[in-house]
A = this chain, B = another copy of it.
Amino acid sequence: MSSSFGSVFKISTWGESHGVGVGVVIDGCPARVPLTREMIQAELDRRRPGQSDIVTPRNEADAVEILSGVLDGLTLGTPIALSVRNKDHRSTAYDEMQHTYRPSHADYCYDAKYGIRAWAGGGRASARETIGRVAAGAVARAVVRTLCPQVEVIAWVQQVHSIICPTPAAEVCAATVEGNIVRTADPAVAEEMAAAIRSARSAGDSLGGIVACTVRNCPVGLGDPVFDKLEATLGHAMLSIPACKGFEIGSGFSAPQFRGSQHNDSFYMDGPRVRTRTNNSGGIQGGISNGEDINMRLAFKPTATLMIEQETVNDAHQPATLRGKGRHDACVLPRAVPVVESMAWLVLCDHLLRQKTVSL
């Protein structure tokens, strides 16, 4: 029951890192949405390995095939199946890990849960699992953009280790983010961050950081009160991304510093539009979008796979040591950016379709 997400726009992802491939089935996509293979491939290219010298050199083209649900550039209303074949198995690189639990990886927990060894490369716990998310996110984006062409979702790397990009959310420019290999909002900061990542990699170590994400021009009224508040479903989506350790919306963990009189967002009229003078709410009030920018931040831990020897145990419950082989990211954040955006599109798309059922 674990690999499905969404309530009306439902996705089911499948695939293991070192199996035949990975993919997704989307059930509940409206008909007549313009959609091409290129639209999906473009997003996959943003997350694929080997894009630059600071990400894993695993060589995967990650070419997507549309297996169903689209004809002549339009969705049919039927399930859309998307598949990406794995090219570069190299599972021999994982041989010695077969019986040893990698620290801060899912190996031990999978064993305990399923009673069967997740295989080389981490199975579903591999970063390759996010391919299904990004492919589905591209479809969600097409749906949202067809219904509300003005909606924008931009994620960027706001922090790597102790290096912070100070650009305010409202000033972040998508082209700038895409214009540097770190995907941060300021090219000068990008160089610092890239240097830190290269340095950590040289030491066989890894770095974490913060990805921020903003949604602009979101329609008012999305999100359901009570359990499926917009921030709750966004939080669910983001916290399900591998290595994400925290999620905040609006003022987030800085909220306690404010008094109510400082934190409340006063309403005023901006021409015909009800707006708020501040945006501590992060664009969501009572679980429902209010039309202001939706501002989120996600904390990512440093990658667990290290080229440094670590203490651990094996599946016979004997002490062991382990040093990573294979090809891994010393910092996942640059490649996490399109994943974060995809999860945001998936949540927005689902709530947008749900909203159609709320009013007469």
Contact = CB atoms under 8 A, between A and B. Distances in A.
A108 interface: yes
Contacts of A110: 225, 286, 288
Interface residues of A, number: 157
A313 interface: yes
Interface in A208-256: 208-210, 220-229, 231-240, 242, 245-256
A209 B260 CA distance: 11
A355 interface: yes
Interface string A16-41: 10011111010110111100000000
Interface string A309-345: 0111100011100000000000000000000000000
User: Chain A's interface: helix, strand, loop or mixed, by majority?
Assistant: mixed
B299 A252 contact: yes
Interface stretch (A3-11, A56-64, A166-174, A180-188): A3-11
Given A79-B14, A113-B288, A221-B109, A251 B1 contact: no
A104 B266 CA distance: 7
Nearest to A229: B240
Interface string A115-129: 110110011110001
A205 interface: yes
Given A1-B7, A110-B286, 19 more contacts: A3-B79, A3-B225, A14-B67, A71-B119, A78-B123, A107-B286, A113-B221, A113-B288, A122-B286, A161-B257, A207-B259, A231-B239, A231-B245, A245-B248, A245-B255, A246-B253, A255-B300, A261-B306, A268-B311
